[in-house]
Structure 1
Amino acid sequence: MEEKVYEHAEKGAWLSIVAYIGLSIFKLMIGTIADSEALQADGFNNLTDIIASIAVLIGLKISKKPRDENHPYGHSRAENIASLVASFIMLSIGVQVLYEAFHSITDKKEQIPDFMAVWTALGGTAVMLMVYIYNQRLANRINSQALKAVAKDNLSDALVSMGAVLGIAGAHLGIPWLDPLAALIVGLIICKTAIEIFKEASHLLTDGFDEEKLMEYRKVIESIPGVNRVADLRARMQGNHVLIDVTVKVDPFLSVVKGHLIADEIEEKMEEKYEIHTTFVHIEPDIIRKVEKDS
């Protein structure tokens, strides 16, 4: 099952790489011929995406490796590390695009790009929207964090291309500075996307987890017969899997067998309701509840 998940995620990454290679070459070529800084910036944006998608693909391949002595939980966190690397690459290119665009605006260089740059940017928008829809649906279906980062990047690329369209069209309407301004906006979008991917990846790598989800898990576990209360609950992401550690308090006079059955029911409930396949349950006697009853 896990092997299939990574295979599907790799397909999404490969689709992005193929699309980015074609678009970056075409946009950089047409952008140079048409003298459009916005389209060239868009092409450089797609160039960063090739590198980022390759980083994600490598991470996915490492994630497929089975457990070993040094990695008892497997290698699935390589997926998050790949997203982190991708964010650094994107940020560096984004800063370069910002520098070039700002330099053009301050130079007050007036240029009207050829109109074929508009059609190229429009075509790029359509392609990236289709790639985004495919990868977003796939990422949600298989719950892949790396592929979600790729899909988020796909959407930002579609928006970037649309911004390039507006900038180039604006230059043709007698506002020549709109083309380098569009390039500046492209650079800002690249940097913003990189920062968002970095924040999400670093959050997961430092065992950050959604507190609302934890509260939801707690309520479900406490509703199981035999569980007096949840003493401690922790969760973290291991690649695209959720791992839970929960300590529950039960009647101190329960037999070992009954305690074990409660633990089994907790595991089954979490798998059935949330598709969480790894739940570590610690059973402890509820001494406080017993004292309260006795008094």
Structure 2
Amino acid sequence: MVDIYDKIKEGERGAWASIVAYLVLSALKLTIGYVFLSSALQADGLNNLTDIVASVAVLVGLRISQKPPDADHAYGHFRAETVAALIASVIMALVGLQVLIDAARKLAGGSGEAPQAWVAGVAVLCAAAMYGVYRYNRDLSIKTGSQALMAAAKDNLSDALVSIGAAVGILGSQLGMPWLDVITAFVVGLIICRTAWEILSDSLHRLTDGFDEQKLAEIRDTIGTVEGVQEVREVKARVNGSQTVLDVVVEVSRDLSLVEGHDIADRIEEEMKAKHDIYFVSVHVEPKEEEAQKPAADKEV
């Protein structure tokens, strides 16, 4: 079985792929958008700049997450990835608001000169390139089990869709509606802000030990099927970066020895690794509580 730290290190390739792609595409979009008067393409380029920050945050988080536990971090450094995502979301939100303000000023000022039609082709090519990065990161995240990389892949896909939207705005401006390009830039700003909010809310949920209730129910069901477990008394889970930390209390037969109870705990840990990719599991075994004796039936008079 591949060590979890090896999986995290392998996920760095996806972060680097995103960074390189965003550097090239943002420079291309901002240059062409500025020279050929496309507000939508400029906004899309700014969007990619924020994505560079997000990708760097993922990379830094992955690097720090690989540090082993020490005296001050008994559970390791996995949450560094979540903190980095939180910082990146704030930066993304600020850039998104700037795009909205600039678009509103241009729309109110009547700035609406139509960019050339071929600029839309640039946006489509950029969308195709970003979709390729999305497929690469998605496949790599499935292989490594990296939740952070899967989030980055979803961001890549949203960027491809934003570029398609920019192309639509540019082409629309060729139909006698030059203001449509500015409107598209405004929509792109909204998408940036929405993505930032989604990352922010998810990061806060993880940092405050929130956990998906449906997934927790699935984990409880799996534990209940382990041989020797008579009842699942308590299951608690929290997210530590890209890893899940699980605390379990189960009841077993009172007649079991200490070694037999320990074997049941080992089986639970193995099931969590195999079925839920959870490596940090603490199992507490309790003897099954005896059922209260039923009251004797009333004697016939």
TM-score (norm 1): 0.94
Following superposition, the deviation at residue 145 of structure 1 comes to 2.5
Amino acid at match of 2:125: G
Counterpart contact for 1:250–1:283, Cα < 8 Å: yes
Counterpart contact for 1:83–1:149, Cα < 8 Å: no
CA distance in 1, matches of 2:81, 2:31: 33
Gaps of 5+ in 1: none
Using the TM superposition, name which of 142-151 and 71-80 deviates more.
142-151
Matched, 1:291 2:257: no
Counterpart contact for 2:120–2:167, Cα < 8 Å: yes
- Listed as ranges, the matches of 1:1-295 within 5 Å are 1-287=3-289, 289-292=290-293
What SS does structure 2 have at the residue aligned with 1:281? strand
CA distance in 2, matches of 1:212, 1:8: 29
CA distance in 1, matches of 2:200, 2:141: 18
Q: Percent identity?
A: 50
Following superposition, the deviation at residue 8 of structure 1 comes to 2.0
CA distance in 2, matches of 1:126, 1:225: 50
Counterpart contact for 1:244–1:280, Cα < 8 Å: yes
CA distance in 2, matches of 1:6, 1:258: 35
Gaps of 5+ in 2: 297-301
> Residue by residue, what CA displacement relative to the aligned partner does 1:222-264 show, whole Å, maximum 9, x if unpaired?
2223322111111122222222111011223322122222212
What SS does structure 1 have at the residue aligned with 2:292? helix
CA distance in 1, matches of 2:185, 2:226: 57
Following superposition, the deviation at residue 125 of structure 1 comes to 0.6
Label 1:234 to 1:85 Cα distance change in 2 as closer, same or farther (>3 A): same
Following superposition, the deviation at residue 293 of structure 1 comes to 7.7
Following superposition, the deviation at residue 29 of structure 1 comes to 0.8
Label 1:121 to 1:174 Cα distance change in 2 as closer, same or farther (>3 A): same
Amino acid at match of 1:229: E
Match of 2:299 in 1: none
Amino acid at match of 1:123: L
CA distance in 1, matches of 2:291, 2:158: 57
Amino acid at match of 1:74: G
Following superposition, the deviation at residue 294 of structure 1 comes to 10
Runs of 4+ in 1 over 6 A off after TM superposition: none
Amino acid at match of 2:99: V
Label 1:123 to 1:62 Cα distance change in 2 as closer, same or farther (>3 A): same
What is the Cα-based RMSD across aligned positions, in Å? 1.7
CA distance in 2, matches of 1:292, 1:169: 80
> Residue by residue, what CA displacement relative to the aligned partner does 1:43-81 show, whole Å, maximum 9, x if unpaired?
111111112211221111111111100001110111111
CA distance in 2, matches of 1:139, 1:133: 10
Using the TM superposition, name which of 102-111 and 120-129 deviates more.
102-111
Counterpart contact for 1:41–1:183, Cα < 8 Å: yes
What SS does structure 2 have at the residue aligned with 1:225? coil
Amino acid at match of 2:37: D
Label 1:255 to 1:294 Cα distance change in 2 as closer, same or farther (>3 A): farther
Amino acid at match of 1:291: A
Counterpart contact for 2:272–2:278, Cα < 8 Å: yes
Amino acid at match of 1:166: V
TM-score (norm 2): 0.92
What SS does structure 2 have at the residue aligned with 1:105? helix
Following superposition, the deviation at residue 129 of structure 1 comes to 0.7
Counterpart contact for 2:112–2:182, Cα < 8 Å: no
Using the TM superposition, name which of 4-13 and 174-183 deviates more.
4-13
Following superposition, the deviation at residue 84 of structure 1 comes to 1.2
CA distance in 2, matches of 1:82, 1:294: 61
What SS does structure 2 have at the residue aligned with 1:207? coil
